[in-house]
Structure 1
């Protein structure tokens, strides 16, 4: 059996003098889809921001391919795609312009791939419409189109199905499954009941609260 891609060891985090999680440990291997569960306020988004290298407000260790993410942060960030709860698009730009900006960080991508990604998320015909004229669900789809362009091994997704209709949810589930089958890994939060069978593992933060 191969070594896990990501190892989370003895994570402790508190906010406003309240412990969110203590001695939280789990690992993520190639092919895993890990759903972070917990009640509202349990620290799900905080944990994803920590794993996305966006917050240092914690104690404990996180290893990527056997190396601390702080010792080789560049490799970790290059292997990571983080999509937050907000769509993360510029309202004054069009969907294609937003993805062109993403493309600038990944020179191997081309315009044809951008248009394919927008078609896959149901935005064909809206490529040149400013995002402030699109619905919340359409803006969410612009953000999710990055998944079709990403070459990252680890996807960290905070409520990716928000404002997405049933057809869109099914398409995103298929995309997550394909990523896992290719040897990638996904960590996500969602209130949606995932239909991914054996690929899904769960980490429940409600069971992790303790005192330091």
Structure 2
């Protein structure tokens, strides 16, 4: 599996966010998108997720233009933006079940419980998300990404609101995903010292 971004350009108003951006992502590899707030990181990930069209450029997935068959692409990809995509009136368990159903994905009860335990969510699993903290909701959203088990993860500032233990747990999950042949594009405004062996894309 290969994702190729070729000559991608995007503007916002009178400002150019990025121009002639090119990179490729293969199995077991990670791309780290860095830049200050407003540099275009979220816009780039939305374009790669197929949620927004670029001004110019081409994106191909397994040799085919992304926009020619979005359904096929979406079946291989999990996207998490700044919003967690949770229904506040539902519990973490109910949200996970609904998100897995929407993604046409399956996970055993044992695997769901293991991920809840890994992220210290077990005691909150049956509380409505509207009663949870921002960090707890972020962990539920990240748990959904892991449980969907899609090969390509697109994660926009995934570690926002996480405590140190959850940050480390998600780092481990990312490494396990890559080791199993998965692919990740991850944006951050932080430094890259925790992301050895990643391809770095800097937006400014």
Q: What's the TM-score, normalizing by structure 2?
A: 0.93
CA offsets 1:47-89 (integer angstroms, 9 cap, x no match): 0000011111421100001111112222111110000112221
Who is 2:76 aligned against? 79
Q: CA RMSD in A?
A: 1.5
SS for the counterpart of 2:90 is: coil
Q: Does the CA contact (< 8 Å) of 1:103 and 1:110 recur in 2?
A: no
CA offsets 1:144-192 (integer angstroms, 9 cap, x no match): 1113312211100001100101111111111101111111110011234
Task: Give ranges in structure 1 of 5+ residues lacking alignment.
Answer: 207-212
Which residue, 174, 177, 195 being the options, matches 1:176? 174
| Whole-Å separation in 1 of the counterparts to 2:75 and 2:202 | 28
- Asked whether 1:70 is paired with 2:67, we answer yes
Who is 1:210 aligned against? none
Q: How many residues align?
A: 202
Taking structure 1 as reference, are residues 180 and 107 closer, same or farther at Cα in structure 2, changes over 3 Å only?
closer
SS for the counterpart of 2:73 is: helix
Who is 1:96 aligned against? 93
Who is 2:132 aligned against? 134
Q: How does 1:151-190 map to 2 (within 5 A)?
A: 151-190=149-188
Larger mean Cα displacement after TM superposition, 100-109 or 51-60:
100-109
CA offsets 1:11-48 (integer angstroms, 9 cap, x no match): 11111121111111111111111110122211000000
| Whole-Å separation in 2 of the counterparts to 1:191 and 1:178 | 23
Larger mean Cα displacement after TM superposition, 118-127 or 91-100:
118-127
| Whole-Å separation in 1 of the counterparts to 2:32 and 2:71 | 25
Who is 2:196 aligned against? 197
Taking structure 1 as reference, are residues 186 and 26 closer, same or farther at Cα in structure 2, changes over 3 Å only?
same
Larger mean Cα displacement after TM superposition, 98-107 or 39-48:
98-107
Which residue, 37, 55, 64 being the options, matches 1:40? 37
Who is 1:123 aligned against? 121
SS for the counterpart of 1:202 is: strand
